[in-house]
Structure 1
Amino acid sequence: MNPILNLLSLLGIVGLCFIAWLGSEDRRVIPWKVIFWGIGLQMVVGLIVFGLGSSLIEGLSNLLNVVLDASEAGAKFLFGGASSMLVAEPNFAAGPGPAGRWIARTVGTPFVAVAGDRLSPDNLNPGFAYVLAFRALPQVIFFSGLVSLLYRLNLIQPVVKWFAIIFQKTMNISGAESMAGAANIFLGIESAIAIKPFLLDMTRSELCAILTSCFGSIASSVLALYAGLLRPTFPSIAGHLVSASIMTIPACFVMSKLLIPETGDPKTLGHIPEDEEGESSERPNPMDSLIGGALDGVKMAVGIAAAIIAILGMVALINAVFTTISTVVLGASPSGEPSLITEFFANPLANLMGMLFLPLTFLTGVSLDWQELWSCSLVLGRRLFETNIPPYQQLGRLALSGEISDRALLIISYALCGFTHFASYGIFIGGLSGLIPERRNEIASLGFKALWAGTLATLMSGCIAGLFDIGNAAVLGR
């Protein structure tokens, strides 16, 4: 534990609010009540997660891990059964058994570990230890169906309304944006459907708050995907992703109201609008809800796969172009060693984003060590172009190799928990515009402001995690 880092995380909360205020449309209007209560709610959640209720998070993680394991049953059946190497057991290492490894050491060259090697003599061939397409994407389909079923059984709506009431009463924001923010703990842009009758008459500040909530939180359908990427090094990650989703919503209201203060008169101020349900005869039965949700999950999984292929391909193409230009124009250094410029152009987008996010990463209190700080900044910076999946994968690799501390793993896992990347921009802007096409231009003008507010909100959640982190490895579930 380093109290200086905890203090830095606390100051980072203030610093992020100041950065948001600098970009405000009206700096004279400061939403003090939203700021104090928004940060206060985050503090309460942080105290429960890292102080009073660490066992609660561990229990929640264990429960979610059971659901995560169950979500792989269908994928195992489709891709090879119980012995499938494409969807292997989490602790199963594909490769030669004990007898095969003994023969290999006796007859062949003995295994010798080298610096940075993550293999051991008992794990000579990890094989298909984790294939994203066969492990993570089926979980998206399963969780989408599960959430749809829970909504049909009316098990999630009371929780959403409870959170909405807390947000509305404490921060004195409108009921409609409170409801949308609370629903974002479980959903994505679909959360706006519940308040569709009020969207057309919403103020500019309300619309920005709704979009920011979409960017700053994660839908439960992708929770399994992110949890699976970090579970080997962060066993209780599932519970922490849930707490991060809850914690970030108040931060989204803080940042959005700082960027676009409320100067209008919201129609739902002071009360929570009712979620109008259709007639029972028109509602699908539970099985239809499960299958329909799974089909929606298929669309989401295909969209995720398509986005990853297209975006990572473009990033690789841009990097290749810049690498070629730097080699031709700059040439090699006289000593034959790569220069700082050629190293930068070898991976220009990641390095540029790392440079831009470096001050923000520092404010989270991740570390005072330059190399660790830079590694974390690179991870955070990648999210903007590459979505959350490659950064979470890289974070897991850094933690497994010991290149970052447990504190950095904890903070960055919270700071990454959101949809603050360009791939989601079109989804959220297009989705909300489709509900109120009359205000399409205004929504488009709010898009990048909301993306920026959501980014600051996720970083604030990282600050909360850094503030309450005391170096207890049990928080990670180890």
Structure 2
Amino acid sequence: MEVYNIVSFAGMFILVCFAWLISRVLFNNRQAPNWHLIGWGIGLQVLFALFIFVVPAGVAFFQAVNDLAVLVLSTAGDGARFVFGSLAAPPGTEGSLGFILAFQAFPTIIFFSSLVAILYYYNVLPFIIRQFAKVFTKLMRISGAESLCAASNIFVGVESAFTVKPYIEAMTRSELCTILTAGMATVASNVLAFYVFTLHSNFPSIAGHLISASFLSAPAALVMAKLIFPETGTPQTLGQVVDIHYEKESSLFEAIINSAAAGLKVVFSIVALLIAVLGIVALIDMMLGGMGAHINQWLGANIDWSLRGLLGYLFYPFTLIIGVPIEDA
């Protein structure tokens, strides 16, 4: 496994070069890379990784976070079972009808949305986010708005863009690219809860891995965004520490109610997308399979002509350079 660690370390620099090539070839950016930002971005990743995986206190901390996340999420099932009865009973429990995604996993999204809202209401998350934003702003010398948005993405999803709503209108193209990149690079907390619920039985430490991945992905997103779209203007909040913009509810129960309603909208959106996208993918696979069967016969090959197979061929080199074992890539 040490060999794959070395490969993934080298792959980090290969991806940096690849992002630089995209900037030069596709977007014709001739500006020299900001090596200070790139160096600190990679350096922060290495420091975070050492703390998470090597330093005993860090290992113990994230193991405790994993155990706490699993323990907290186990309480989400109480509400689901009260509403849906045996439909929400997980496999192996009395009266269970087996695993039903909609009634057992999706309710965790609603529960976790409310939990995050409680942490916002008592100013716990805003305080933590501000500390990370200060680190990014000071060390990487970027704008306060994009630092705040990247830090927010460690804990929440793409809705983190609302934390810098007053500054979006005046943002440069580079800042907007950073916000979009950070939003797609990390795992939203409510969706993280869904992943933990569905994968915990096969991967007991999944919560700790996903949370640590978000910590590592935030500085990585800043590096990739600034390589692809280097800063050519002067950001309005350059070097400044900005406050989080969010509407604080008048009471705790209002926060819980509003966040639960927002979580329900997310669940409905996910259900609708799963139905639509999986159906479309099945249709594409059917068409590709019919065409591919004739091509395979003509070539004497055994190419997987499904959408998953073709994307697998496309991204195979990238999975190798980030250190995924060959048998899993």
TM-score, structure 1 as length reference: 0.64
Q: Match of 1:8, as an amino acid?
A: V
Give distance in 2, aligned partners of 1:215 and 1:331.
Answer: 36
Any idea what the Cα deviations from partners look like across 1:78-136, whole Å, max 9, x if unmatched? 221xxx3x33346x2679xxxxxxxxxxxxxxxxxxxxxxxxxxxxxxx7442211111
Q: 1:126-137 maps to which residues of 2 (within 5 A)?
A: 128-137=97-106
Q: In 2 relative to 1, CA 32–176 (structure 1 residues): closer, same or farther, beyond 3 Å? A: same
Q: In 2 relative to 1, CA 332–224 (structure 1 residues): closer, same or farther, beyond 3 Å? A: same
Give distance in 2, aligned partners of 1:331 and 1:165.
Answer: 56
Checking the alignment, whether the CA contact within 8 Å between 2:108 and 2:197 is kept in structure 1 is no
Checking the alignment, whether the CA contact within 8 Å between 1:31 and 1:261 is kept in structure 2 is yes
> Which position in structure 2 is the counterpart of 1:323?
289
Task: Tell whether 2:61 aligns with 1:35.
Answer: no
> Which position in structure 1 is the counterpart of 2:63?
58
Give distance in 2, aligned partners of 1:247 and 1:331.
Answer: 42
Checking the alignment, whether the CA contact within 8 Å between 2:164 and 2:245 is kept in structure 1 is no
Identity %: 42
C-alpha deviation, 1:156, in angstroms:
0.8
Q: Match of 2:21, as an amino acid?
A: L
> Which position in structure 2 is the counterpart of 1:120?
none
> Which position in structure 2 is the counterpart of 1:258?
227
Task: Tell whether 2:88 aligns with 1:87.
Answer: yes
Give distance in 2, aligned partners of 1:48 and 1:184.
Answer: 20
C-alpha deviation, 1:284, in angstroms:
2.6
- 1:235 alignment partner, SS class: coil
Give distance in 2, aligned partners of 1:291 and 1:270.
Answer: 37
Any idea what the Cα deviations from partners look like across 1:327-380, whole Å, max 9, x if unmatched? 4x45869xxxxx634x522x2x1111001111100001112x4x332xxxxxxx
Task: Tell whether 2:49 aligns with 1:46.
Answer: yes
More displaced 10-residue stretch of structure 1: 19-28 or 150-159: 19-28
Q: Match of 1:372, as an amino acid?
A: D
Any idea what the Cα deviations from partners look like across 1:11-36, whole Å, max 9, x if unmatched? 10110101000011424420111111
- 1:176 alignment partner, SS class: helix
Give distance in 2, aligned partners of 1:15 and 1:128.
Answer: 48
- 1:205 alignment partner, SS class: helix
Structure 1 segments unaligned to the other structure (5+ residues): 96-126, 334-338, 374-478
Task: Tell whether 2:324 aligns with 1:358.
Answer: no
Aligned pair partner of 1:246 in 212, 215, 220: 215
Any idea what the Cα deviations from partners look like across 1:404-435, whole Å, max 9, x if unmatched? xxxxxxxxxxxxxxxxxxxxxxxxxxxxxxxx
- 1:261 alignment partner, SS class: coil
> Which position in structure 2 is the counterpart of 1:219?
188
Structure 2 segments unaligned to the other structure (5+ residues): none
Give distance in 2, aligned partners of 1:134 and 1:362.
Answer: 37
C-alpha deviation, 1:253, in angstroms:
0.4
> Which position in structure 1 is the counterpart of 2:108?
139
Q: In 2 relative to 1, CA 276–79 (structure 1 residues): closer, same or farther, beyond 3 Å? A: closer
Q: 1:3-42 maps to which residues of 2 (within 5 A)?
A: 3-24=2-23, 25=27, 26-42=29-45
Give distance in 2, aligned partners of 1:12 and 1:275.
Answer: 35
- 1:23 alignment partner, SS class: helix
Aligned pair partner of 2:278 in 288, 312, 315: 312
Q: Match of 2:146, as an amino acid?
A: E
Give distance in 2, aligned partners of 1:204 and 1:332.
Answer: 49
Cα RMSD (Å): 2.1
Q: Match of 2:88, as an amino acid?
A: V
Checking the alignment, whether the CA contact within 8 Å between 1:205 and 1:262 is kept in structure 2 is yes
Q: In 2 relative to 1, CA 173–330 (structure 1 residues): closer, same or farther, beyond 3 Å? A: closer
Task: Tell whether 2:301 aligns with 1:340.
Answer: yes
- 2:328 alignment partner, SS class: helix
Give distance in 2, aligned partners of 1:301 and 1:308.
Answer: 11
Checking the alignment, whether the CA contact within 8 Å between 1:21 and 1:27 is kept in structure 2 is no
> Which position in structure 2 is the counterpart of 1:78?
83
Give distance in 1, aligned partners of 2:74 and 2:46.
Answer: 32
Aligned residues, how many?
323
Give distance in 2, aligned partners of 1:47 and 1:232.
Answer: 27
Q: In 2 relative to 1, CA 19–77 (structure 1 residues): closer, same or farther, beyond 3 Å? A: same
Give distance in 1, aligned partners of 2:260 and 2:102.
Answer: 16
